[in-house]
Amino acid sequence: MNKALTIAGSDSGGGAGIQADLKTFQELEVFGMSAITAVTAQNTLGVHGVYPMTPEAIIQQIQAIGEDIGTDAVKTGMLFSSDIIEAVSEQVRKYRWENLVVDPVMIAKGGASLLQQEAIFAMKTYLLPLAKVITPNIPEAEVLTGLTIRSAEDKKEAALRLVELGVQTVVIKGGHDEDESESTDLLYDGREFHTFTNKRIQTKNTHGTGCTFSAALTAELAKGASVYDAVLTAKEFIQAAIEDGIEVGHGHGPTNHGAFRKKKELGNR
């Protein structure tokens, strides 16, 4: 069975973080494993506490996977500090894990910071050169590149700069596009640009969309898909998850991780 490892924070509310990743892995028929970088006290109303693990605890979790089970793909989510980023990067190099998807989680849906300011340098220096794919949203791409992104050309320039940092493929997500009717993701593989446009769904239940998208992409890479095909499936997965949303909590609710499978089952009847 194909395997995928998520190295990320825990979301007690279940909508994002390793909880969203493991649900996504399971839905896409990949055996999911995790190394927890931080425990958050979190629900649909926001993040109420962040408790990072020590680098040693994270290293031991990763080594437990690397020395026994192994993995076909890895994704990183919330890494929080420069010490954690350096520790994770060292382990990725040690085990020569090439299918690395970096979701540069910086800010929670409610506005809480999930990455310390000084950790941005560590991410650009140690982690991004190891990444097969990076999946920033527009605000994250702006932080990593120093650009202001307002147009399609701005996205392309940001993608070029991220590739210069050593990333193989960039996917800049369009959820923060100014267009209220649709959103467009940009993929750049170092040679060609590709765009993926979807109808924008008017809902407040978008908690964990970035985690879920990158987890779906990681699952498909673990199964041997090309980056382009993995992005296509990840787009379909998250679109279905948002369209067929669920009402949980009183704030920004989660997406429906089972929607993609149910949609396929209905299509096969």
- Does 187 score more than 70 pLDDT? yes
Out of 109, 124, 173, 235, which one is annotated catalytic?
173
Question: Could you tell me the pTM of the whole model?
Answer: 0.96
Question: Which one, of 178, 110, 180, lies nearest residue 138 by Cα?
Answer: 178
Pick from 21, 70, 1: nearest CA to 238: 21
- The average pLDDT across 177-185 equals 79
Active site annotation includes 24: no
Which residue's structure tokens are 């089970």?
A: 69
**Proportion of the chain above pLDDT 90, given as a percent:** 84
Catalytic, out of 135, 206, 212, 218? 206
Catalytic site includes residue 206: yes
Active site residue 211: yes
The question of whether 17 is a catalytic residue gets the answer no
pLDDT at 90: 98
In the annotation, is 173 catalytic? Answer: yes
Q: Would you kindly state where each structural domain of the chain is located, as residue ranges?
A: 3-259
| Structure confidence at residue 110 (pLDDT) | 63
Average pLDDT, the chain: 94
Catalytic residue among 15, 17, 175, 210: 210
Establish how many alpha carbons lie within 13 A of residue 42's alpha carbon, considering only the half-sphere containing its beta carbon: 30
Tens of pLDDT, residue by residue over 76-131, are: 999 999 999 999 999 999 999 999 999 998 877 666 677 878 889 999 999 999 99
Candidate list 169, 209, 212, 255, residue with the active-site label:
209
Of 174, 208, 245, 253, catalytic:
208
Written as one string, the DSSP assignment of 126-176 is IIGGG-SEE---HHHHHHHH-----SHHHHHHHHHHHHHTT-SEEEE--TT
**What is the arithmetic mean of pLDDT over 166-188?**
88
Which CATH code of 3.40.50.1970, 3.40.1190.20, 1.20.120.160, 3.40.605.10 fits the domain covering 3-259? Answer: 3.40.1190.20
Question: Whole-angstrom Cα distance, residue 195 to residue 211?
Answer: 20
